[in-house]
């Protein structure tokens, strides 16, 4: 039996929809319209949320990448001598933090909601950035960068929040906007920070990052509302029990009355369960890890190429990072233009169930382009070709990486529905581990084989994994049915 009751006298409050199964009144969103349903919030407000997510993503990337061109100078300032391993670890340890953080961030958000978890993480991000600015030795500096990476919530929660507030057919544009912001941070960060470091020193970069993070957190506190439907409905049911004195009200997610501690434990283990149960998620995580690692491989090798081969100073090295961001912007724009259109066009006409694999054609395109760009990058420096050839290869890398990553993240969000945060955690952990450790192995590889052959080996590895996206496109729908978390008919939003 479906019932709708106006339980509050204030007509601006939503009517509360529930289904009575004889034992419980199961609270749910009203299918005829519910102002508390994030999917039905006004479009302007949902895009306001996208802008908030984008601002924090920009701040995170600015903080992470802004200081990269000056990494060697930072180590020299604190240690009195240069240390290549310390310089690389200073850059990549952030990713180890980003691998650890989602293991807690995603499950906490699935129990307590996106809003409280995001705000706590933002606060910890601010404090860790302050510690970085005040560091007096390399050990504390690297540890503080690890803590800052742990506090990054945007990587795992931004796609999940987009999935909370946009239906499947309209997620591509919002996801592209969220992905564009960190690219701007990656462009503006090194170019601005390089000039700032030359003029005033590297610590001012960290203080600027702190100010940006504080501004973002204030916006989150006052402008963001909870977007995850599970806590929204649980709180609605609790409110109804209190207001009516009727203890039979339950949300559709808490009929078992599970305690918070048990729910949290379950949620913390869920990324492992989701990952271990899904072949699709495992191979896409492997593919995504390889693609993402090239960003950090480029970030740790490009300054050396520009300084040793082309004799660029810190400010010019920072400006050179604009090339990767430019390519990434082109990739994002292509995704924004094509992802949703291809998704709609490739949906089976005889099926009412969304077909997430329709997100992947652009990922296949990126997979074909990326190995060639990696090889060109290495040989440009090895042969001392004009610097514009090197920077063109970086532009193409940025373009190919975004063509691979953006549709893949949207696919995971669509395919895993309510547990998308846990699924995205699996993707993020594997890619962050790759982003931490693969760049550490690049220096010995290049030292032994040289820039050209060293990056040819990396291009070969990338090419060897390139069949993964077309295989998922072809067989993913069948493989997904083997996991209870991604079967057709689950809540895809």
Q: Give the CATH number, domain containing residue 87.
A: 1.20.1250.20
| CA 407 distance to own-chain centroid | 12
| CA count, 13 A, side-chain hemisphere, 419 | 24
Closest CA to 410 of 227, 109, 168: 168
Helix 229-244 to helix 102-112 angle (10° resolution) is: 30
Question: Is 492 part of any domain?
Answer: no
Rounded percentage of the chain residues whose pLDDT exceeds 90: 39
Q: Is the pLDDT of residue 10 over 50?
A: no
Digit-coded pLDDT (tens) for 405-419:
989 988 998 888 878
Residues 13 and 75 in one domain: no
DSSP 136: -
Q: What is the mean pLDDT of residues 94-103?
A: 84
DSSP 454: H
248 CB burial (10 A radius; 0-12, 13-18, 19+): middle
Distance CA 54, CA 178 (A): 5
Digit-coded pLDDT (tens) for 268-321:
788 889 999 999 999 999 999 999 888 888 888 888 898 888 888 777 877 888
Helix 322-345 to helix 387-416 angle (10° resolution) is: 40
| CA count, 13 A, side-chain hemisphere, 4 | 9
Q: How confident is the model at residue 24 (pLDDT cuts 50, 70, 90)?
A: confident
Structure tokens at 232: 């929204």
Structure tokens at 491: 């809540």
Choose the final residue of a domain: 216, 251, 286. Answer: 251
Residues 168 and 204 in one domain: yes
Residues 238 and 361 in one domain: no
Residues 148 and 7 in one domain: no
120 CB burial (10 A radius; 0-12, 13-18, 19+): middle
- Cβ–Cβ under 8 Å, residues 315 and 194: yes
Q: What is the mean pLDDT of residues 238-255?
A: 81
Question: Is 153 part of any domain?
Answer: yes
Q: How confident is the model at residue 263 (pLDDT cuts 50, 70, 90)?
A: low
- Considering its fold, how many domains does the chain have in total? 2
Residues 27 and 97 in one domain: no
Q: What is the mean pLDDT of residues 426-451?
A: 86
Residues 235 and 87 in one domain: no
Residues 239 and 309 in one domain: no
Q: CA 373, 376, 378, 379: dihedral to nearest 10 degrees?
A: 170
Closest CA to 431 of 398, 408, 460: 408
Q: CA 55, 60, 66, 68: dihedral to nearest 10 degrees?
A: -160
Q: Is the pLDDT of residue 14 over 80?
A: no
pLDDT of residue 41: 93
Question: Is 490 part of any domain?
Answer: no
Question: Is 157 part of any domain?
Answer: yes
Q: What is the mean pLDDT of residues 351-371?
A: 87
User: In a 3-state reduction of DSSP, which class is residue 250?
Assistant: strand
Digit-coded pLDDT (tens) for 101-112:
878 888 888 888
Choose the final residue of a domain: 251, 286, 321. Answer: 251
pTM of the predicted model over 0.85: no
Residues 13 and 105 in one domain: no
Distance CA 438, CA 210 (A): 29
Digit-coded pLDDT (tens) for 30-72:
888 888 899 999 999 999 999 999 999 999 999 988 887 778 7
Q: Residues 6 or more apart from 403 whose CB is under 8 A from it?
A: 331, 334, 335, 362, 363, 365, 366, 369
- Cβ–Cβ under 8 Å, residues 192 and 66: yes
Residues 58 and 16 in one domain: no
Residues 265 and 212 in one domain: yes
| CA count, 13 A, side-chain hemisphere, 183 | 25
Question: Is 384 part of any domain?
Answer: yes
Q: How confident is the model at residue 466 (pLDDT cuts 50, 70, 90)?
A: very high
Q: Which residue has the higher pLDDT, 119 or 294?
A: 119
- Domain of 77? 38-226+260-480
Q: What is the mean pLDDT of residues 159-182?
A: 84
Question: Is 489 part of any domain?
Answer: no
Question: Is 366 part of any domain?
Answer: yes
Q: Residues 6 or more apart from 399 whose CB is under 8 A from it?
A: 327, 328, 330, 331, 334, 366, 369
Residues 30 and 42 in one domain: no
Closest CA to 165 of 413, 411, 366: 413
Residues 359 and 431 in one domain: yes
Q: What backbone torsions phi and psi does residue 313 show, to the nearest 5 degrees?
A: -85, 180
Choose the final residue of a domain: 194, 217, 251. Answer: 251
User: β-strand 2-5 against 249-251: which pairing, if any?
Assistant: unpaired
Q: Residues 6 or more apart from 426 whose CB is under 8 A from it?
A: 271, 274, 275, 281, 285
Question: Is 487 part of any domain?
Answer: no
């Amino acid at each position: 039996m479906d019932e709708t009751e106006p339980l509050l006298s204030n007509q601006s409050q939503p009517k509360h929809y529930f289904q009575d199964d004889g034992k419980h009144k199961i609270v749910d969103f009203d299918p005829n319209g519910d102002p508390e349903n994030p999917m039905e919030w006004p479009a302007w407000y949902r895009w306001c949320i996208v802008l908030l997510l984008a601002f924090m993503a920009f701040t995170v990337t600015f903080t992470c990448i802004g200081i990269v061109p000056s990494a060697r100078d930072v180590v020299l300032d604190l240690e009195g001598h240069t240390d290549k391993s310390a310089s690389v670890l200073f850059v990549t340890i952030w990713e180890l933090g980003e691998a650890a953080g989602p293991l807690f961030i995603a499950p906490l958000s699935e129990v307590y909601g996106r809003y409280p978890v995001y705000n706590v993480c933002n606060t910890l991000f601010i404090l860790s950035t302050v510690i970085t600015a005040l560091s007096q030795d390399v050990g504390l500096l690297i540890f503080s960068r690890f803590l800052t990476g742990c506090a990054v919530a945007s990587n795992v929660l931004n796609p999940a929040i987009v999935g909370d507030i946009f239906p499947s057919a309209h997620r591509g544009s919002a996801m592209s906007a969220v992905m564009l912001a960190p690219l701007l941070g990656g462009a503006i960060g090194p170019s601005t920070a390089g000039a700032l470091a030359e003029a005033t020193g590297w610590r001012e970069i960290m203080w600027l990052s702190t100010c940006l993070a504080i501004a973002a957190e204030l916006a989150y506190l006052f402008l963001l509302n909870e977007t995850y439907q599970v806590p929204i409905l649980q709180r609605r049911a609790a409110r109804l029990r209190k207001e009516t004195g009727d203890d039979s009200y339950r949300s559709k997610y808490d009929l078992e009355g599970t305690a918070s501690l048990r729910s949290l434990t379950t949620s913390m283990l869920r990324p492992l369960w989701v990952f271990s149960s899904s072949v699709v998620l495992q191979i896409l995580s492997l593919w995504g890890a390889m693609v993402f690692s090239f960003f950090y491989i480029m970030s740790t090798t490009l300054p050396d190429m520009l300084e040793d081969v082309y004799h660029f100073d810190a400010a010019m090295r920072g400006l050179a990072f604009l090339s990767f961001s430019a390519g990434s912007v082109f990739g994002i724009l292509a995704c924004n233009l094509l992802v949703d259109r291809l998704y709609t066009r490739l949906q089976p006409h005889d099926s009412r169930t969304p077909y997430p694999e329709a997100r992947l054609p652009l990922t296949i395109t990126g997979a074909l382009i990326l190995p060639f760009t990696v090889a060109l990058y290495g040989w440009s420096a090895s042969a001392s070709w004009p610097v514009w050839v090197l920077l063109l290869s970086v532009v193409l890398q940025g373009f190919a990486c975004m063509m691979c990553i953006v549709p893949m993240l949207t696919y995971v969000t669509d395919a895993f529905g309510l547990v998308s945060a846990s699924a995205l955690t699996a993707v993020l952990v594997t890619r962050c581990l790759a982003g931490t450790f693969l760049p550490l192995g690049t220096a010995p590889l290049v030292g032994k084989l040289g820039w050209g052959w060293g990056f040819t080996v990396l291009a070969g590895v990338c090419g060897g994994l390139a069949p993964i996206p077309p295989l998922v496109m072809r067989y993913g729908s069948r493989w997904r049915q083997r996991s209870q978390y991604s079967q057709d008919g689950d809540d895809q939003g």
